[in-house]
A and B are shown apart, each in its own frame.
Chain A
Amino acid sequence: MSLTLLLVQGLNGLQLGILLFLIAAGLTLVFGVMDFINLAHGVQYMVGAYLAAFLAAQTGSFWAALALALPAALVVGLVLEFLVFRHLYDRDHMAQVLATFGVILILNDGIKALFGSAPLQVPMPEALTGGFPIMDGLLYPHYRLAIIAGGLATAALLWWLVERTKAGMLIRAGATNAPMVAALGIDIRRLFMVVFGFGAMLAGFAGVMAAPILSVEPGMGDNLLILAFVVIVIGGIGSVRGAFIAALLVGTVETLGRSMMPDLMRLFLDPSAARQVGAALASMLIYIAMAAILAFRPAGLFPVRAA
């Protein structure tokens, strides 16, 4: 395990963490403000990636696809809110889980019907195809660095929106005590809709950015959704700051665990057993971390709502 490899894996972990944050931010706000479990948040990431693939093929430009995909993802989010989610805010968590699972089924199979189940390729933007030399003969792709930069910029923007604007103040107040905000004369339904659309757009943005480096396929959001839930539970439901820190933590632990665990296990076991046990342990690490954190801090690292 050389220092360079550690650096590369660290950067990859950071990049996964950033993508996770973009998905988890919307999820944690929707969950925190509306007390609404949206399992369909992962498919909004998938929708973003497919919009990018479709629009890039139509326009021939990644940047045009990005510019068009964001409002389209917002519209998809708002349509879903209008058709399904709006009728579920007053229902219990189990009803929300069931209905949003229905949305997952519809969108996953709908995408399959429209685009087929084979993975799609999205070309990388021309300007970012090169790499950044880390050492002789080893390049780190510009595009991955761009994802990290774009994600950090979005995180900063989000921080400013939530901490420094009036809408952000209402969102934070809503996460702490939604009925009180409504009682003070704020149209909480409209606030919900805005938060919802914005969250959908962030997840779509993550999908667009991931499209050139991951395979765009139906069901691509399902596993990321579970990771995003782990992130918001570790970070504390409703806390954007918690989601940011937990996303970076989960991204790094997941990536480093996968590359280092087999080597680590080789200290105790023979090579073939080490590879198996290492791979299994690496997949489990974040769940072990989550179980440990929940066991000692049942409300996550940065609890928003007073228990």
Chain B
Amino acid sequence: MRAMGRELPALLLLGGLAAAPFIGFGEGYMLTLLARMMILAMAAVSLSFIVAGAGLVSLGHAAMLGFGAYAVVILDDLQVVDALFVLPAAILAAAGFALLTGAVAIRTSGVNFIMITLAFGQMAFFTASSLSGYGGDDGYTLYARTEVNGARLLDDRLVFHFVCLGALVFTWLLCRMLLASRFGRVLRAVRGNPMRAQALGFSPYPYRLTAYVIAGALGGAAGFLFANATEFVAPAYISWQRSGELLFMVILGGLSGLHGALLGAIGFVLLEEWLSHQWEHWRILFGVLLILAVLFLPGGLSGIPAQVGRMLRRD
């Protein structure tokens, strides 16, 4: 029962996303927004898995989405459009990139890890802008969404909504399961005190690298969905600002559990959407809210209930 209670926020959020099309958010524009929200939430959950679980603060996570998205683009150009091939290719491309760059990056730690992942992200960004066969800086418009075993399933908005939701639920369950497993315990031990973990006989490096590759693979799957959601891919998807936004979703939501990343991504997209309709220079308000959130909500959005509880008890 207590375990249920801890997962309640995440279950409520996912349930809300499942019900959304049937309670008045079913028209085209809202579904586009919801798809964007779920795909970014998927990327944020995979990032939260390595940030909160393993202490690997990556400022290059958008590159993983980029690899997934560009795998869709390159196969689209070769007229390979079936998800049976495209999805594994997107996942493998991102996981391969994560393996190669992670092998170097994980040798560093702390701020240097942030900077080296940023460097690898920038390399991916500049590579994508140089692919003039795929539009270069201007990006590439897909001929159509990816087919599933020959059927144009993803073209149906409602089906696509539930595909995204399914992918998000899968990501959340997988990361949750991994964090609760022996593997996740070793990761947390290494995050807490690498030397002590080593003294217990666990070499940190392979565990961290595995976690990094898993997060990369999930990011690649998110990239596959993102390319299909917008039917357009541009290097801007890989820019360091995008990596920053993903990290902000994770931190804004709070690092106490994976539901923080869900909450952060949903809150981020909603706030961005709402504010951008209020005022042309809405980013000023967004910035002020970010600063206020950092100063007054140290546990992030998901830490609010505990914080309120503490304040009530103090009185």
Contact = CB atoms under 8 A, between A and B. Distances in A.
A290 B291 CA distance: 31
Contacts of B119: 230, 287-288, 290-291, 294
Interface residues of B, number: 45
B251 A280 contact: no
Given A233-B112, A298-B112, A102 B122 contact: no
Main secondary structure of the interface of B (DSSP, over half): helix
A284 B248 contact: no
Interface stretch (A12-20, A105-113, A136-144, A204-212): A105-113
Contact of B111 (A91, A93, A290): A93
B252 A98 contact: yes
A280 B284 contact: no
Interface string B123-154: 10011011110000000000000000000000
B294 A109 contact: no
A104 B286 CA distance: 11
A31 B244 CA distance: 19
A179 B241 CA distance: 34
B130 A105 contact: no
Contacts of B123: 284, 287-288
B295 A99 contact: yes
B57 interface: yes
Give the interface size class of chain A: 35 or more
A93 B116 CA distance: 16
Nearest to B286: A105
A300 to B, nearest CB: 8
B290 interface: yes
A105 B240 contact: no
A144 to B, nearest CB: 26
Contacts of B126: 280, 283-284
Contact of B281 (A93, A95, A112, A294): A112
Contacts of A102: 286-291, 294
Interface in A236-275: 237
B108 interface: yes
Most buried by B among A31, A93, A102, A103: A102
Given A105-B287, A113-B281, A291-B116, A226 B294 contact: no
B298 interface: yes
Contacts, number: 123
Contacts of A87: 295
Given A98-B252, A113-B284, A294 B116 contact: yes
Contacts of A93: 57, 110-111, 114
A46 B289 CA distance: 22
A84 B111 contact: no
Most buried by B among A31, A108, A109, A277: A109
A276 interface: yes
Nearest to B116: A294
B291 A280 contact: no
A277 to B, nearest CB: 7
Given A109-B283, A284-B127, 15 more contacts: A37-B111, A91-B298, A94-B255, A98-B294, A101-B290, A102-B286, A102-B287, A103-B287, A109-B284, A222-B241, A226-B118, A229-B115, A237-B111, A294-B116, A295-B108
6 contacts: A84-B295, A109-B287, A110-B284, A230-B119, A295-B104, A295-B108
Interface of A: 31, 37, 84, 87-88, 91, 93-95, 97-99, 101-106, 108-110, 112-113, 222, 226, 229-230, 233, 237, 276-277, 279-280, 283-284, 287-288, 290-291, 294-295, 298-299
List 6 A-B pairs, minimum CB-CB distance, nearest first: A280-B130, A105-B287, A102-B290, A106-B287, A109-B283, A283-B126
